[in-house]
Each structure stands twice: as C-alpha cells, then as structure tokens.
Amino acid sequence: MKKVTAEVTSVFWITLAITIAMSIWGSVAPGLFEKYSGVLMNFISVHFGWYYLLAVTFFVLFCIYLIFSRFGKIRLGKPNDRPEFSYASWFAMLFSAGMGIGLVFYGVASPVSHYIKTPPTAEAGSVEALEDALRITFFHYGVHAWAIYATIALILAYFTFRHGKPALVSATLEPLFGHHMKKGWGKAVDVIAVFATLIGVATTLGFGATQINGGLTYLFGVASGFWVQLLIIVIVTILFMLSTYSGLGKGIKYLSNTNMGVAGILFLGTLILGPTLYILNSFTNTVGTYVMSLPIEALRIAPNSESERQWVMDWTVFFWAWWIAWSPFVGIFIARISRGRTIREFLSGVLFVPTIVCFLWFATFGMSGIDIQNSGADLAGLPDEQVLFGMFDQLPMGIILSILGILLISTFFITSADSATFVLGMQTTNGSLSPSTMVKFTWGIAQSAIAAVLLYTGGLQALQNVLISAAFPFSIIMLLMCISFYKALSKDKVGGK
C-alpha cells in the first residue's frame, strides 16, 4: 500500500474522491441524482449544441490539414523509432478500444430507429427515411468520431515520444501556458481528463451490461433488470482484472485479436445469411450520399424546426459527447500503441481504416435489420438492447449468431475496461507507461461501480445524461490542446522550413 501511495499523484485521490461521492449520491438518492443530471444535460444540449457541432468539425479539418501539410513526415518518436505492433494488430487494438460495445449495441438499433421511429426529416417508414437511416448512422460513426480520437492520440503521442513529456493531458498544454501546467491548473486539467474517461468508459460498460442482459432475456428468458445487470458487471470486472494482471502486451493484444476474429465471423455470417446483394448495393450508395452530404450534416442544428433540432440533440450531440468523453481513454491508448509512426501514416490509418470497417459493419447489420423489418418482423418494437438478437432470430443459424453476439459484446466489454484501467493508471501516476497492478485494479473497481450506479439511478437515460455533461469541459481542453500542439509543431526542426 505504501508503494501505491508513493506512486500515485493528487489527481488519483481527487478523482477517486469525486467518484466515491458520486457513487454514494447515486446509491442513496437515485431520484435526485437522475433529476439533476438530467437538468444539467438538457442545459448543455440546448445552449451548446452548436458548439459541439463546430468543435468536432474543427477536429476533422485539423486532422486533414495535418495529413497534407509539411508536418506529415514527422515521426511520433525519435528519428530511428519504428512501430512496435504490426498493422493488423495496431488496427485491431485501436478499433476494439475505439468502438467496441457501441458498434454492437447500435449496429441494428440505430438504422432501424432512424427508419421507423425517429427519422429526422422524412416520414417514418418511407423510402426517404430508409435511405437516410444508413447515411445518418455512417455520419455518427464516421470520420468525425475517429477525428476526435485521432486528435488527442496524435497530440499525446507527439509530446510523449518526441519530446519526452509525461503521458498527461496537462503536459500537452505547456507550450501554451508554460509552468502553470505543472501546478494547480495542470492538476485540474488532468482531473477533468480522468473523470471524463471514467464516465465515458462507465457509460459504455453500462450499455454492454444491458445488451448482454437483453440477449440472455431474448434467448433464454433470463430476467431483465438492474440486479442481473449488476451480476454481469461483477463477472466481467473479475475477467478484465485477470486480463489487466497479464499486462498490455499479453492481455489487451490477445483480447483485441480475439475480438476481431469473433467480429469477423459474425460479420461474414450476417453478410452471407442476410440479403447480401441488398447490403452491398446499400453500402455503395450510402458511401456516396455520406460524402456528398457531409458538410451539411456536420453543421445541421435546425434552428427553425423544434422537432428536428431535438433530434440533433438526442442523436448527434449525444454521439459527439460520447466520443469526446471516450477520447482521453482511447486517445491515450492509441498513442501508447502508435510510437514510431509518422503523423501522415498515423492520421491516415486512424481516420479512414476504422471508418470503412464501421461502414461495412453498419451496412451489413443495419440493412439486414431493415430488410427483416420490412418483411413483417417488428424489430422497431423491441428494446434497443434486444434488436440485434431479434434480427438474428429471423436468420438461418440465428441461435449460433446470437451466442456469438453475446460473446463479442463480452470480449469488447473486457477489452474496453482493461484498456481503460491502463489509461487511468497512466493519468494518475504522472504519466507512467507502467502503472502498478494495484492502481489499475482500483480504477477497474471504480469504473464498474460508476456503471452500476448509473444503471441503478436511471438506466440508459442516466448514462446519457452524465456522459454529455462530463464531455463538455474536456472538449474545451481538446481545442486548447490543438492550439498548443500547432505552436510546438511549428518549431519542430523536421516540420520547419
């Protein structure tokens, strides 16, 4: 214990205290917790929705500029550094950490919902709504999401591996604010980053627990509710702690490669057993409409339509907040596994390869779901966490696909939580690339506790409320990181004239 106390910084104790206080509040007074988290979320969504759209669009433009700029040849590390992981393992790890449970949870639910329940502009169930459904899903999981991850990952990797700075968010702001980042203001920045990470991961774990519960309910009639979800969280917590104990090179790499294998089998199975030609045609068509509509969709806030504006708040702002809240965790993790790559190579890989994979995934699962919906099955009438299994039930070998689906959610669950404990450990031990097992265990328990509390206080809605609120302050820090990074980059000898 003395070793742990000496290892951690004040950021550890401050964030842990906030986490404990939040857990107690949510457990003792769940009604008040849900009420005030909802009020805060609504205030941010209504008054700062425009800000979220502009900020995330800026991250996309910033990344694209760097790819084609003279800075693209700069290596994230020393001149002789080379990548530690192969392209295959690198893509598997960043993809598993970056999307994970959300991809499975919303793979069918999002397109079906946009088509039947909540189309933003077209009439529900119309041809227009059908065409919009997949395009909107592409938008929420496309380059905007990965630009958020790429931005923070790039900046952290640059300062950590090229300039020898500690792997802390506060360290990336030193070119802008100088020595102030080594004092109280720097600690405040790191506390915000750690808390955003904790909430982002806890939200995802909550979604994972509800969908595993949903699958067990749909397939085997297991009761659906908080106590079953709590049991799932406890079991998975034990499993990811075992993975954490094995270390980054063994645990996370093995699980990430396992994820990709299971995901690949599930993807090919659905593609072959589903309406294959319809899926491929829809994918091709939607990539085109996605690219053409991107500028308009990225900044659409519908000031003259209350219903459409509310849709933007409920969907686009929620997703942007989710990615931002996840970005400290995913960004730091991607930075850790990307040493030795050039800025151009890094951004091209992180921005576009996972985006294409996401598009293929959503085209396959989303259009299979819509085809089944149009054939008479009421997938739209199922809870979101059961829609995936409702679709599998209508396909040949559906029981096998459903079991694989539960397995995939579970391994994504473990991978996300495992990676998060490593990142949280880094951020609370002054940027150590090898935080102790005890520190990682502490954060593993904390993130699982927050997930359980959020489910207890209000289910999925409580998860969304806290997520949007936690993401807001960190988005401001991300913009400051971009300014600080560009200032340092302009002085880099390789990037200079």
* DSSP classification of residue 339: T
Residue 495: per-residue pLDDT: 44
Residue 180, class by beta-carbon neighbours within 10 Å (0-12 exposed, 13-18 middle, 19+ buried)?
middle
pLDDT tens digit sequence for 23-58: 888 888 888 888 888 888 888 888 999 999 999 999
Number of structural domains (the chain) is: 1
307-321, 329-343, 349-363, 456-470: range with lowest mean pLDDT: 456-470
The span from the CA of 84 to the CA of 93, in Å, is 12
Q: What is the pLDDT of residue 112?
A: 93
| Across 461-482, average pLDDT | 86
Tell whether 495 is covered by a domain: no
CA dihedral 192, 194, 199, 203 (to 10 degrees): 140
Is 34 part of any domain?
yes
Domain that holds residue 399: 2-489
pLDDT of 211 over the 50 cut? yes
Checking if the pLDDT of 347 tops 90, the result is yes
Q: 494 lies in a domain? A: no
As a whole-number percent, the residues of the chain with pLDDT over 90 amount to 42
- The whole-number pLDDT of residue 154 equals 96
Q: Which residue has the higher pLDDT, 71 or 96?
A: 71
The answer to whether residue 214 is domain-embedded is yes
The CATH number of the domain holding residue 339 is 1.20.1740
Query: What pLDDT score was predicted for residue 167?
Result: 84
Cβ neighbours around 126 below 10 Å, total: 12
For residue 497, being part of any structural domain is answered with no
Question: Is it the case that residue 156 has pLDDT exceeding 90?
Answer: yes
**What confidence category does residue 281 fall into, taking pLDDT thresholds of 50, 70 and 90?**
very high
Residue 200 lies in a domain: yes
With both helix axes pointing from N to C terminus, report the angle between 384-393 and 184-220 in degrees, rounded to the nearest 10.
40
Instruction: Specify the pTM.
Output: 0.89
Name the amino acid, one letter, at 480.
L
Give yes or no for a contact between 142 and 472, defined as CB atoms under 8 angstroms apart. Answer: no
Q: What is the pLDDT of residue 31?
A: 84
pLDDT, one tens digit per residue, over 354-384 is: 899 899 999 999 999 999 999 988 899 988 8
Other CB atoms within 10 A of residue 312 CB: 21
Task: Decide which of 329 and 270 is more confident.
Answer: 270
Indicate whether 377 belongs to any domain.
yes
